[in-house]
Amino acid sequence: MLLPKLAAIYLSLTLSGVRALECSQEIGSDFLSVDAGGGQAFAIRTGDLVYRWCNYRWIPVMGTMKQISVNGSTVYGIHNTWHLYRYLHGSWFLMDESTIQITAKHTNMLYSIGELLGNIFCSLLDKNDPTYSSWKSSFITMSVMACGLHDCWGIDSNGNLRYLITPSTCAVQLSFIKIYGNFVTLDVSDNGVVYAIDSNWKLHRSIGVRTSVTTLEPLLPEKKIRSVSVDGDLLWLVTVEGTIMLCNV
């Protein structure tokens, strides 16, 4: 569900013509990033302040985090000490350290990027112990990683998009799919569509999914976007000015 009233429709150029994205009016200020999944959304503001979207407004959450990954009631955060926390019942519980990024949207699996070498680690979620993790290193390095329900993509050290094979065994394999570019961040929808932001703060969307992706199309070419997160048919965006937009996709 979008914000109460849609104030604008932004046009996005595609390979086949012009596609309209229906987006809300930009709101707020000083936002740095946003992450949404399973009907919940969390955002980080200047000073690593954490907020949760509730009843059409941003509610402050205790504590400070540099990065948030959310999938419904499953919420993780990384502190500026690189310690990993899980958000449970309104509080943050310490799990691990030496983590620079976390993604929790893949089915029953948690992926992280280690602080020292940038290796991807995987841990199966333990329903009986929500703060326990047993990490398995893939020895594959990525600067950024994002997952949908079934698919994961990463950005390598050269800024290229790479499709990651993530079997149910919690292993990670590097596929042959490479999309050249200078990308800085991304997210993946539950149906496998990739949304990526390049170094010029331009937003792109994949044409095709998984190994059929060969190119990307621009979205909102008149906007500069610093953070993207997709949840179902909703696209959450943070502009370089620090405002938040919510679009139907």
Please, what's the b/e burial string for 150-163 (b: 16 or more CB within 10 A of its CB; e: otherwise)? ebbbbbbeeeebbb
- HEC profile for the chain? CCCCCCCEEEEEEECCEEEEEEECCCECCCEEEEEEECCEEEEEECCCEEEEEECCEEEEEEEECCEEEEECCEEEEECCCCCEEEEECCEEEEEECCEEEEECCCCCEEEEEECCCCEEEEEECCCCCCCCCCCEEEEEECCEEEECCCCEEEECCCCCEEEEECCCCCCCEEEEEEECCCEEEEEECCCCCEEEEECCCCEEEEECCHHHCCEEEEECCCCCEEEEEEECCEEEEEECCCCEEEEEC
Q: What is the pLDDT of residue 152?
A: 96
Q: What is the pLDDT of residue 182?
A: 97
The rounded distance, in Å, linking the Cα atoms of 169 and 112 is 16
Within 13 Å, how many C-alpha atoms sit on residue 132's CB side? 7
Dig out the tokens for 101 from the structure. 């990024």
Options 3.30.70.120, 2.40.30.10, 3.30.70.930, 2.130.10.30; CATH of 28-248: 2.130.10.30
Q: What is the pLDDT of residue 153?
A: 97
Residue spans of the domains in the chain: they are 28-248
Are residues 98 and 115 in contact, defined by beta-carbon separation less than 8 angstroms? yes
Q: The whole model's pTM is what?
A: 0.91
Distance of CA 24 to the CA centre of its chain: 20
pLDDT tens per residue across all 249 residues of the chain? 444 444 444 444 444 444 568 999 999 999 999 999 999 999 999 999 999 999 999 999 999 999 999 999 999 999 999 999 999 999 999 998 789 999 999 988 999 999 888 899 999 887 777 777 889 999 899 999 999 999 999 999 999 999 999 988 888 999 999 999 999 999 999 999 999 999 999 999 999 998 889 899 999 999 999 999 999 999 999 999 999 999 998
